Amino acid sequence: MKRRIYIAGGSKGGVGKSIQSVALIDTLTSRGEKVLLIESDTSNPDVWKMYSGEVQAELVDLDDANGWIDLVNVCDQNPDHAVVVNTAARNNRGVTAYGQTLNSTLSELQRDLVTLWVINRQRDSLELLRDYMEALPGSRTHVVRNSYFGEERKFELYNGSQIRKTVEDAGGRSLTLPDLADRVSDDLYSRRLSISAAMKELPLGNRAELARWRADVHSMLGTVLDG
């Protein structure tokens, strides 16, 4: 299988792009893959703060043409790493303007591009997804319903939508990201802990909740990583 570039997208603020990136890095590293994190949220680099001590990590501004050049070059220089890109809110403008820089180099990079598009239950998540898929047609795009915003069945807008059909007809999946208890996600964010660091440092009950979430995440993402 070709090495991959994973983009944790969603464009909207606060939908769960960062926690999706964390879930992905943890799943990849526990499978023994070398990971390169591209943190493009330069104003609030939360994933970078959690993971720069554990995996190779670069800060790259994807609102700017230079950032997309850097992204392609760093992927080219690290052919044996799976790349995880944590995107910032409102990143769709950068994708529309410069996404072609990446799209046009995928075959030379010998990389597959896989997007995990995180949604809440609102309509604009879906409208932004349509624009994104047009701007980056080379991406295999999966949709992630973040159950922090409610159970899977409550995502009625997406579940019954045309965009769901478009995603699935193109080989994408509709996935559900498990909800982690707030007090444990607060531990990760406020203490800037990776999942594996948190599995050493948190109190037993918190670790048990994290282990439950982690196992669910690994099985959810397993279908994407193997597919």
Q: Whole-angstrom distance between the N-terminal and C-terminal Cα of the chain?
A: 10
- Kindly state whether residue 19 participates in binding ligand ATP, applying the rule CB under 6 A: yes
- Kindly state whether residue 144 participates in binding ligand ATP, applying the rule CB under 6 A: no
- Kindly state whether residue 59 participates in binding ligand ATP, applying the rule CB under 6 A: no
**56 in Cβ contact with 81 (< 8 Å):** yes
SS3 category, 191: coil
- Kindly state whether residue 179 participates in binding ligand ATP, applying the rule CB under 6 A: yes
- Kindly state whether residue 92 participates in binding Mg ion, applying the rule CB under 5 A: no
- Kindly state whether residue 41 participates in binding ligand ATP, applying the rule CB under 6 A: yes
User: How long, in residues, is the chain?
Assistant: 227
Measure the CA–CA gap between 43 and 56, rounded to whole angstroms.
Answer: 19
Measure the CA–CA gap between 87 and 99, rounded to whole angstroms.
Answer: 13
Q: Which residue has the tokens 């109190």?
A: 203
Measure the CA–CA gap between 177 and 143, rounded to whole angstroms.
Answer: 10
- Kindly state whether residue 17 participates in binding Mg ion, applying the rule CB under 5 A: yes
SS3 category, 62: coil
Selected binder of ligand ATP within 59, 89, 97, 220 (CB under 6 A): 89
Selected binder of ligand ATP within 189, 216, 218, 220 (CB under 6 A): 189
- Kindly state whether residue 195 participates in binding ligand ATP, applying the rule CB under 6 A: no
Candidates 69-77, 177-185, 200-208, 218-226 — which segment interacts with ligand ATP by CB under 6 A? 177-185
Candidates 10-18, 25-33, 49-57, 75-83 — which segment interacts with Mg ion by CB under 5 A? 10-18
What would the 3-class secondary structure string for 201-214 be? HCCHHHHHHHHHHH
Q: Where does this chain bind ligand ATP (CB under 6 A)? A: 10, 13-19, 41, 88-89, 146, 148, 177, 179-180, 185, 189
Q: Where does this chain bind Mg ion (CB under 5 A)? A: 17-18
